[in-house]
Structure formats: C-alpha cells, structure tokens
Amino acid sequence: MKKQINPTIKAHLIRSAFYVLLLLAVCVIPFALAQRNAKQSAAGRMWRLGPPASGSRLSNFATARQAAMPGNQPVQIQKNPLQPLDTTLWYNGDFDGRDGGANQFEGQFGSGEFSRIYDNFTGPTSGQWTVTGLFCNTLLATGLNTAITTAQWEVRTGVSEGNGGTVVVSGTNAATVTPTGRSGFGFLEYQVLVSGLNVTLDALPAGQFYFLAVVPVVPLNASGQAFESTTSGANAVGTPPGNDGNSWWDSNLFGVNFTSTMNLYGSGTWDQSLGVIGTAGSPSPTPTPTPIATVPPRPSPTPRPFPTPPPRP
C-alpha cells in the first residue's frame, strides 16, 4: 500500500516549483530579448563594406571594368575626378578601393546612434591655421547624396586606444555633397564638405597630432548607409600622407570606444580619406603701444624788478 503525501506538503511543493519556474522566467526572458535585439541591431547595419585586403584594382570609365580580386573591389575613376582645392591644408588621399567604414549619425542606425571614424593630421608646424572647411570622402547608398544636408565634425587631440582625448573644437553645420568621380563596392563616392567655418588651430608640440572626424547626418526616414573611404595616400597634401595607420573608430551602435580601425577592417595599415581647407599663417603680433611724447613743463617766468626812482630833491 502506497503511502500518500500529506496534501499540505504537496501544495507547498507545487507552490515552490512554481516560484522556481517564475524566477527562471524572470532571468531568462530579458536575456533572450537582448539576444534578439542584438541580432536586430546588426540586421541592415554594416560596419564595413568588405573584408580587409592589402591592395586594390583600379579601372577607368573609359575602359572595361576589371574583375575584383578576392576580398577587394575595383575603384572606378572618371576622366576628371574631383581634385583637392588650392586652399587644401591637409588631404589624406584618394579612395584606394580597399574598404569603407561605417561613418554616419542616425539614419537607419536609429535615433542618437552613430559610427565615427577619425584620422590624424599634423596641423601647422609653426604659427596657426585658419580652417574654413572640413570634408570626408564617403561611399553613399543611392539617394543619400540628396538626403544629407548637414554633417557633424570634431577635431581632437590625444586620442589613443579607449581614450577619446580632448575635443578642441566641434560642431554641426550645413554640408554640400559633391561627386568625386570615383566609386567602389557598387557605391558612388561623394565629398561631404562643411564650409564657412572660422576655426583657429595652433601648432602642436612635436610628435602630437590633431584627429579629425566629419560625419554625415542621415535623416531617420532614409535607408542605406554612408561608408568613409579608405586611402593609401594617393594625391595626398600635407602630413601625414595617408600612410601611418593612426585612425580610430568610435560607435555607440557597434559598442566600441575609440579603438584602432584594425578592429574595424582587420590587420594592416588603415587610413581614411579626409581633408582640411583654409589658410596658414603666423599669429598676429601683439601691437606695441605708441609712446606718447611728454611735453616738458614751461618754466615759470621770473618777475622783472622795477627800478626804484631816486628821491626827488
């Protein structure tokens, strides 16, 4: 004969099992939602255009398009591509066809989400630069060239792994979007230029650099992405000429905080197609006040003595 469990104990066991299951649900459900959201955040949001590659293939619109090498894409160049202006103080170089990194604010990333890429420039070796424009060369999805009307920009110093350094100057300004005459990965490349600035940059101590980011602002209702072109320094102006790999990636969407672009593209030396426009000159000297001539005091006139008349007889 089986011994029956006391109904009170049975009820207690059932209630305890229910609480255990409830606790598991509370712990597991948020984790599952986080996993689902992580997968959704990656859907349609690429951090680069292609796998890393050490070289590129160039072609011209006047000739047949060449086949892409594995892990690489050809760059198509018009006969008269956009050239750096005479007032360009620094330009890191033309698109090299190796890759493009996600570089935009909002758009299909979502409200407040961004991916920014910075690269270094020396700045003035003496005196000052007066910066009037900043630009990046960017591979844009179809339609974004007309959707983008503004861009964020920053100039920093002291950037290193995990450290954003110090913001020297930043802003959000109207931007003009102009075809460069180059393309790759099925995207046309455009120059995104912020102009009308009046920013002064001083010479830095030897071995220090400025770090520039120009980030297109994409409307939230626009689809497609902006990818900043990589460069190997072709047609570069100033120093460094797109060859030192001192570039950095910062993104709240992809969960990185000022990390080397090797974590974006893969091992190798990676530089970005960015530029600075303006004029170089020495700082205005402090005017020396003109001394005011001191007028010597006029001597007090000595009273003239009057002769004493002789007594009258």
**Best CA proximity match to 100, nearest among 177, 187, 176:** 187
Examine the pLDDT at 140 and tell me if it is beyond 60: yes
Is the backbone of residue 49 left (phi > 0), alpha (psi -120 to 50) or beta?
alpha
Examine the pLDDT at 79 and tell me if it is beyond 70: no
**Distance in angstroms (rounded) separating the CA atoms of residues 275 and 284:** 25
Q: What is the mean pLDDT of residues 18-24?
A: 66
**Distance in angstroms (rounded) separating the CA atoms of residues 72 and 276:** 28
Sequence-ordered strand ranges (E) for the chain: 57-60, 74-77, 88-91, 95-102, 104-106, 114-121, 128-140, 150-157, 166-184, 187-202, 210-218, 226-231, 247-251, 256-260, 271-272, 274-281
Examine the pLDDT at 204 and tell me if it is beyond 60: yes
Chain centroid offset of residue 248 CA: 9
Tell me what pLDDT residue 41 has: 41
Cα angle 44-45-46, degrees, rounded to a multiple of 5: 110
Tell me what pLDDT residue 300 has: 64
**Distance in angstroms (rounded) separating the CA atoms of residues 143 and 283:** 43
Tell me what pLDDT residue 68 has: 32
Examine the pLDDT at 145 and tell me if it is beyond 50: yes
pLDDT in tens, 260-292: 999 999 999 999 999 999 999 865 555 556 666
Total count of residues recorded for the chain: 313
More confident of the two residues 311 and 177 = 177
